[in-house]
């Protein structure tokens, strides 16, 4: 499409795609679909939508566990009047099948669509699923508009050049044409009936992001059409991110995931909202002051206030915090408050409900300190002196469980150890996790998060890979299950975990400098892994916490 005519003129002339067909959007000129079937499991964020038990078929895009974006024209009697769609339940029973590359199989999930929230300025609607789906990837809305000539990709369940109702998802590639206020023109593989609502996306930093939603198209190259013209219109989503977030964020919880990463260029902080979208990463030292040669960092939160800890090149521990209102209090050196114990190399911190528990490694020893509700610190206590020395302690983690127990874990050599500081200040002895639990192997990293009375644990292996297990409130350990299929089989550079709204979240830094994140829901089901982007430099460590507000 040339872009010389207005979007309204094009939309009036284009045939609205409403039945089933898709193509492979590759190349800069239109071509007939050759039936490029998507690889099994690819583009699992794409949905096939059935409206009225066969009255109409469309495609859609999963943007979080319970919401999709698709075209409003799928749900109105006259597709040319898409912006007249009322909010509420669909007029006709509508269902979405998601993550089923081959529709003849039972993979993926199927859900009814129970609620529609349309835009009034473009052919676009948010569609809520009757229940969340798990284990399927979803697309985050883009942060920037498409540009003319940009290569985009797509996926849909629409008609092809030789199949009326395909039983498989087809991938596609487009070239961007004119970019307007609410829409963008695309050309490449034909967009056929059934592709309405399909995702149009780009690859950014190795991760797909949603640029637009396919709406109207010529039918050149589609089975049953004599049309020779190709090209399509898609509704932009990059400019309505706030609207999407406002309408899809969880109403059950206002908790967000806070992420802190030390990279090759500095210390950065970002958030994952309750609808699954990540904010951009901000430079902590620009707002909280500089810590020279930051070596390691950790964070925890209490009542919406996020506490940041950094180990400087001088081996001192520094604290800053991000207030619930968004402002920052500057870094300060805690040596005077905690006491001098030599050069610290690693730290870990957890909320105790009213204060903080801080764990650190210095000179091969493990130390513990607490901050009370008035933000006053105790002096470092020597955990090694209380519980016994462990050789070559390289990693430390901590988490809080119900009853006021502070759970502490360390890696010594290639073994994992665990101890508890009870609410009355007494300690258990070191327990050897490799002996208490099964299927662990040699360990090089560990992260804790308490959910109720249970301690959720992830262990990274020195030979590669990552495993998850649970220490139940009664002290028994589960078998550790592998997460290699989600997070990879590499020897991870860093790992951390957090409990957020009763869900277990974990993130790793991979050897090639990427941050990967996944979460385990309260029902035991895991989300698909996503690559976190938006931070400058190459990540060297990652820290997670949960914060309300």
Contact (CB, 8 A) for 87 and 102: no
Residue 10 phi/psi, 5-degree rounding, is -60, -45
Bridge partners, 368 (sequence order): 359, 381
Predicted confidence band at 41 (pLDDT cuts at 50, 70, 90)?
low
Residue 336 buriedness (CB in 10 A; 0-12 / 13-18 / 19+)? exposed
Short-list 333, 328, 330, 289, CA closest to 311: 333
pTM for the whole structure: 0.88
Q: What is the signed CA dihedral for 174, 179, 180, 185, rounded to 10 degrees?
A: -30
Bridge partners, 94 (sequence order): 51
Mean pLDDT, all residues of the chain? 89
Predicted confidence band at 253 (pLDDT cuts at 50, 70, 90)?
low
- Greater pLDDT, 159 or 384: 384
Supply the DSSP string of 402-427, one letter for each residue.
TTTEEEEEEEETTEEEEEEE-TTS-B
Bridge partners, 118 (sequence order): 125
What order of strands is seen across the sheet that includes strand 381-382? 344-351, 356-362, 365-371, 381-382
392-439 pLDDT tens trace: 899 999 999 999 999 999 999 999 999 999 999 999 999 999 999 998
Average pLDDT rounded to a whole number, residues 453-476: 96
Measured over the CA atoms of residue 75, residue 76, residue 82 and residue 88, the dihedral's sign is negative
What is the rounded CA–CA span in Å between residue 196 and residue 319? 51
Contact (CB, 8 A) for 516 and 528: no
135-148 pLDDT tens trace: 999 999 999 999 99
What is the rounded CA–CA span in Å between residue 166 and residue 164? 6
Supply the pLDDT for residue 167.
86
Predicted confidence band at 547 (pLDDT cuts at 50, 70, 90)?
confident
The alpha helices in 196-338, defined as continuous H runs, are 241-248, 284-288, 335-338
The alpha helices in 70-174, defined as continuous H runs, are none
What is the rounded CA–CA span in Å between residue 481 and residue 498? 18
The encoded tokens of residue 246 equal 């406002």
Q: Kindly tell me if the per-residue pLDDT of 487 is higher than 60.
A: yes
Short-list 140, 142, 124, 261, CA closest to 183: 124
CA atoms within 13 A on the CB side of 16: 21
């Amino acid at each position: 499409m040339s872009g010389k005519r207005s979007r309204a003129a094009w939309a009036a002339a284009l045939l609205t795609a409403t039945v089933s067909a898709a193509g492979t959007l590759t190349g800069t000129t239109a071509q007939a679909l050759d039936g490029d079937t998507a690889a099994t499991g690819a583009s699992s964020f794409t949905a096939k939508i059935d409206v009225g038990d066969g009255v109409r078929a469309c495609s859609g895009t999963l943007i979080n566990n319970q919401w999709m974006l698709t075209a409003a024209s799928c749900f109105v009697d006259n597709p040319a009047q898409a912006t007249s769609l009322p909010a509420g339940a669909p007029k006709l029973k509508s269902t979405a099948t998601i993550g089923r590359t081959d529709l003849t199989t039972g993979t993926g999930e199927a859900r009814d669509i129970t609620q529609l929230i349309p835009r009034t300025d473009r052919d676009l609607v948010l569609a809520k699923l009757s229940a969340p789906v798990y284990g399927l990837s979803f697309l985050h809305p883009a942060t920037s508009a498409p540009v003319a000539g940009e290569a985009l990709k797509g996926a849909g369940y629409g008609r092809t050049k030789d199949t009326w109702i395909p039983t498989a998802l087809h991938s596609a590639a487009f070239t961007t044409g004119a970019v307007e206020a609410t829409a963008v023109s695309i050309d490449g593989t034909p967009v056929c009936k059934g592709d309405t609502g399909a995702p149009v996306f780009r690859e950014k930093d190795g991760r797909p992001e949603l640029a637009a939603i396919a709406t109207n198209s010529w039918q050149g190259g589609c089975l049953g059409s004599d049309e020779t013209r190709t090209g399509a219109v898609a509704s932009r989503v990059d400019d309505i991110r706030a609207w999407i977030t406002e309408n899809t964020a969880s109403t059950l919880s206002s908790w967000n995931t806070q992420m802190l990463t030390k990279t090759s260029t500095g210390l950065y902080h970002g958030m994952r909202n309750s609808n699954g979208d990540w904010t951009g990463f901000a430079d902590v030292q620009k707002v909280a002051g500089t810590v020279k040669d930051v070596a390691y960092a950790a964070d925890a939160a209490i009542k919406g206030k996020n506490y940041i800890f950094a180990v400087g090149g001088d081996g001192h521990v520094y604290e800053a915090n991000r207030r619930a209102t968004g402002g920052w209090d500057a870094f300060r050196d805690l040596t005077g408050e905690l006491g001098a114990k030599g050069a610290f190399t690693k730290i870990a911190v957890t909320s105790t409900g009213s204060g903080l528990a801080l764990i650190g490694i210095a000179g091969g020893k493990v130390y513990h300190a607490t901050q009370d509700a008035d933000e006053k610190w105790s002096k470092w206590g020597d955990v090694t002196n209380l519980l016994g020395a462990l050789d070559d302690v390289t990693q430390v983690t901590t988490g809080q469980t119900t009853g006021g127990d502070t759970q502490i874990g360390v890696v010594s050599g290639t073994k994992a150890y665990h101890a508890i500081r009870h609410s009355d200040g007494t300690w258990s002895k070191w327990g050897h996790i490799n002996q208490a639990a099964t299927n662990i192997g040699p360990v090089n990293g560990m992260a804790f998060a308490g959910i109720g009375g249970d301690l959720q644990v992830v262990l990274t292996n020195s030979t590669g890979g990552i495993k998850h297990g649970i220490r139940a409130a009664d002290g028994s350990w589960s078998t550790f299950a592998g997460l290699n299929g989600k997070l990879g089989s590499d020897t991870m550079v860093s790992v951390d975990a957090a409990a957020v709204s009763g869900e277990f979240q974990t993130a790793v830094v991979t050897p090639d400098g990427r941050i990967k994140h996944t979460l385990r829901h309260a029902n035991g089901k895991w989300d698909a892994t996503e690559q976190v982007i938006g931070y400058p430099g190459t990540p060297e460590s990652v820290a997670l916490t949960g914060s309300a507000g």
